[in-house]
Structure 1
Amino acid sequence: MKIAALQMVSTPDVERNLAAAARLAAEAAAAGAQLIALPEYFCLMGRNDRDKLGIAERLGEGPIQAALATIAREHRLWLIGGTLPLRTADPERVRNSSLVFAPDGTRVAHYDKMHLFAFDNGRERYDEGRVLEAGSAPVAFDAGGWRVGLSVCYDLRFPELYRALMHPPCDLIAVPSAFTYPTGEAHWELLLRARAVENQCYVIAPAQGGRHENGRRTWGHSLIADPWGQVLACRDEGEGIVLAELHRQRLAEVRQQLPALAHRRL
């Protein structure tokens, strides 16, 4: 299966972001991608955290979800829709949710980001808990016989989530992200390759990558890694697509030669 990670530099304008996502998806589909993944907050990089509240949708309705379903249906592909804000019972909180659409446009999976990012280095400060409500359960889905595990950005630092997704083992793990520049520079590739190696599966990591209109700079470096931790393709910064092929034989070889998953004791 050919897959594509779509790298974006999203803006505070939802319509512009949806248009960019559709354009990149069309490019990936034309290149033969059967599964594509958008980055975290592909639909909005707001000027402040509370901007998410203004565009939040109810699950199953709204223009952002409709746009994702249309992309999947028009190009007949599996679409991991990065993340978008979904409403909760608390009007001051949203879920940071990753929705998956099948080639016929139906929603087949829904994962709410479990781990909420906080960071303060004296120059940059983030606290997602101010407006986000954390999810509570791991989610995986079947994409034409490939088992795909879902996660989002800061989840990457919690290997126990990925271990929970490996019963049965995933063939591919998705990590749509908007890593900050300093944390991405230090840890992004290191953590992604570690998750691939320890779980002996492919990893697709579509990211925000560049200088945004709100002044924030994200790390980018969207990549796809194989079960041995080899980076198959990567894009440093700027809008674009990252393509690679998944091979069942490669999964089988790695798991047979070094049967670490079979040796788990916890």
Structure 2
Amino acid sequence: MQQNLRLCIAQMTSTNRHAGNIAFVEHAVQHAVAQGCDLLALPEAAGMMNKDRDDARTQITVEAEDPFISACKRLAAEHGIWIQTGSTPVASGDGRFLNHANLINAQGISVAQYDKIHLFDVFLEGRPATGESSRYAPGAEGVVVDTPWGSWGMSICYDLRFPHLFRDYALRDATIMFIPSAFTVPTGDAHWETLLRARAIENGAYVVAAAQVGNHDDGRITWGHSLVIDPWGKVLTDLGGTEAGLAVVDLDMEMVRRSRDQIPNLRNARDYTVRHITT
């Protein structure tokens, strides 16, 4: 396993058209390569953020024909860099979309695909219900993929609130958990960093959480604060909550083993039952 990974994490204000977002990724790849990065990590909805369902349907297609995914493959191959695409909507086959992520290697090959499992159907006080499941179909499987830097686990945004997914990944020796997101401002302010640091600490893994930020074409406002967190829970970078940007972070993959050796909770877990007492 290669010990050192140089990562470029991207924070975006995605548009409601593929073209503008592809242009941003082209710039991000050029920056990452100039900085000697091995990997570019993008946020949820990096390919397109568009809550106008009718307009979105005129653009969204199956993965094999998606212009954003195709552009990421081309850029990865041309520049010899891995790209974690964050996510982009693709057609599901049942009239809804899939919130879909790819991990693309330095040859431009998609070596792993993941569809968001847990959909954001929540009811925040003073705000309309989100109802993500009315537009998106859920994924059905978690994904861990072997890379030269160890195994990596894939997730998207609301998956963050389901810690058993990341525990399953850690038990399969995942060294990095990708959590690309487009958090709302109220939930981001209240929960974002706390939950991300918890996932890193309890699993002894790096968390890479590229995020959307600011005011989007479709009227949404997102929290930002893209974070990279080490296995001990230390925030290595925070891109803030006001504008798009890029940051380069060096990850020592050996720190995963050291953290898990010091606090071996993955080995210490025991089977148990719960006794419910009524009075």
Query: Taking structure 2 as the reference length, what is the TM-score of the superposition?
Result: 0.90
Please state how far the C-alpha of 1:57 moved relative to its aligned partner.
Answer: 2.4
Contact 1:56–1:84 at 8 Å: present in 2 too?
A: no
Name the counterpart of 2:249: 244
Distance 1:249 1:109 in 2: 23
Name the counterpart of 1:99: 102
The answer to whether the aligner puts 1:222 opposite 2:229 as a matched pair is no
Residues 19 and 75 (structure 1), Cα distance of their counterparts in 2 relative to 1, 3 Å cut: same
Contact 2:204–2:232 at 8 Å: present in 1 too?
A: yes
Residues 176 and 264 (structure 1), Cα distance of their counterparts in 2 relative to 1, 3 Å cut: same
AA aligned opposite 1:34: D
Match of 1:37 among 24, 33, 41: 41
Distance 1:20 1:248 in 2: 28
Percent identity (aligned): 38
For structure 1, the 5+ residue unaligned runs are none
Contact 1:18–1:43 at 8 Å: present in 2 too?
A: yes
Residues 139 and 30 (structure 1), Cα distance of their counterparts in 2 relative to 1, 3 Å cut: same
What RMSD, in angstroms, separates the aligned Cα atoms of the two structures? 1.5
Distance 2:82 2:228 in 1: 16
Higher mean Cα deviation, 157-166 or 171-180? 157-166
Distance 2:116 2:223 in 1: 20
Query: Taking structure 1 as the reference length, what is the TM-score of the superposition?
Result: 0.95
Residues 258 and 105 (structure 1), Cα distance of their counterparts in 2 relative to 1, 3 Å cut: same
Contact 1:210–1:218 at 8 Å: present in 2 too?
A: yes
> SS of the counterpart of 1:41?
coil
Please state how far the C-alpha of 1:51 moved relative to its aligned partner.
Answer: 4.0
Residues 50 and 113 (structure 1), Cα distance of their counterparts in 2 relative to 1, 3 Å cut: farther
Name the counterpart of 2:81: 77
Please state how far the C-alpha of 1:48 moved relative to its aligned partner.
Answer: 2.4
For structure 2, the 5+ residue unaligned runs are 272-279
Match of 1:257 among 262, 270, 273: 262
AA aligned opposite 1:129: S
User: Which of these two proteins has the greater Rg computed from alpha carbons?
Assistant: 2
Contact 2:12–2:46 at 8 Å: present in 1 too?
A: yes
Please state how far the C-alpha of 1:28 moved relative to its aligned partner.
Answer: 1.9
Please state how far the C-alpha of 1:49 moved relative to its aligned partner.
Answer: 4.4
Distance 1:221 1:132 in 2: 25
Provide the aligned length of Structure 1 versus Structure 2.
265
Higher mean Cα deviation, 248-257 or 95-104? 248-257
Match of 2:11 among 7, 11, 35: 7
Please state how far the C-alpha of 1:256 moved relative to its aligned partner.
Answer: 1.4
AA aligned opposite 1:130: S
